[in-house]
């Protein structure tokens, strides 16, 4: 198990037992249960939707539609997947339809890096010499902590920007996997992609975000 997954286990503790109880009372029409789920998941839904649709207003509408679809389907939800996976899947289907309608999804599909088998390299080739060795050795980031990076508004904006400028499918994968902490199987299930494709897309996306952090470190945080 990687460090990342360990961390996620802690973060997702809330999807445990109390959630099935919450769903049980929701089925019986308990408003507080619904309010809790809406509070718990809407922020996540919003940022996943933003990987499909061009603006906040459209993403908000997709989130609303998703919750209404949850109410429609909750009696039939059998708990074969987790509630979170089921919920994210509903959202993704709706966001995809909405994105296609807004034409953005279609336009972006033709851009390089959109599919896993495009020619886009897995790493930045300029970092390596002809023999595949580092031209400049990567340095240690031991002094960097997420807290410290996110303290600065500037770095937060830069990371958001790096994510927003990823090709749509890479953004979808990294949002679900690394930002929302879904497992590889969950992401494949939600997005309906193979594990191999998912890893290729994820790796390209991570490589770009890493580069954005590095450029930010180079410009300001080194002495900070």
Partner 1 sequence: MDKDFRQTVMAYLAGKLTCRQVAEAITDYLDGSLSFWQRVRFELHLGMCIGCRNYLRQMKKTIQLLGTLPPDPIPDHIRDELLRRFRTWSHHQKHTGERSEQEWR
Q: Which stretch binds partner 1 (CB under 8 A): 16-24, 56-64, 86-94, 111-119?
A: 56-64
Count of CB atoms situated within 10 Å of the CB of 143:
10
Q: Which residues contact 200 (CB under 8 A, 6 or more apart)?
A: 116, 117, 122
* CB contact at 8 A, 7 and 146: no
C-alpha–C-alpha distance, residues 116 and 204, integer Å: 9
Considering the rule CB under 8 A, would residue 77 count as an interface residue with partner 1? no
Spell out the long-range contacts of 43-47 with Cβ–Cβ below 8 A and sequence spacing 24 or more. Answer: 44/88, 44/180, 45/87, 45/88, 45/91, 47/175, 47/179, 47/180
Is residue 218 near partner 1 by the rule CB under 8 A? no
188 binds partner 1 (CB under 8 A): no
- Using CB under 8 A, which residues numbered 101 to 160 contact partner 1? 122-123, 125, 127-128, 131-134, 137-142, 144, 146-147, 149-150, 156, 159
Rg (CA), the chain: 19
Of residues 195, 215, 219, 222, which one binds partner 1 by CB under 8 A? 195
| Positions in the binding site for partner 1 (CB under 8 A) | 2-4, 7-8, 11, 29, 31, 34-35, 38-39, 42-44, 46-47, 60, 63-64, 67-68, 71-72, 75, 122-123, 125, 127-128, 131-134, 137-142, 144, 146-147, 149-150, 156, 159, 174, 178-179, 181, 184, 195, 199, 202-203, 206-207, 209-210, 213-214
């Amino acid at each position: 198990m990687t460090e990342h997954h360990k961390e996620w286990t802690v973060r997702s503790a809330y999807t445990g037992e109390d959630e099935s109880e919450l769903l049980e009372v929701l089925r019986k029409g308990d408003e507080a249960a619904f309010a809790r789920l809406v509070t718990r998941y809407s922020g996540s839904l919003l940022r996943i939707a933003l990987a499909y649709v061009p603006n906040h207003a459209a993403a908000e509408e997709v989130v609303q539609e998703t919750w209404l679809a949850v109410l429609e389907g909750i009696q039939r939800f059998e708990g074969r997947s987790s509630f979170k996976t089921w919920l994210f899947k509903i959202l993704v289907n709706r966001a995809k339809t909405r994105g296609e309608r807004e034409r953005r999804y279609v336009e972006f599909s033709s851009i390089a890096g959109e599919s896993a088998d495009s020619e886009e390299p897995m790493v930045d080739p300029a970092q390596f010499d002809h023999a595949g060795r580092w031209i400049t050795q990567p340095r240690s980031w031991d002094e960097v902590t997420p807290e410290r990076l996110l303290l600065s508004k500037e770095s937060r904006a830069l990371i958001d920007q790096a994510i927003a400028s990823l090709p749509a499918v890479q953004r979808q994968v990294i949002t679900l996997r690394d930002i929302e902490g879904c497992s590889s199987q969950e992401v494949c299930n939600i997005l309906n992609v193979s594990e191999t494709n998912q890893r290729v897309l994820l790796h390209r996306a991570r490589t770009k975000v890493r580069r954005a952090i590095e450029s930010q470190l180079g410009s300001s945080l080194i002495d900070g």
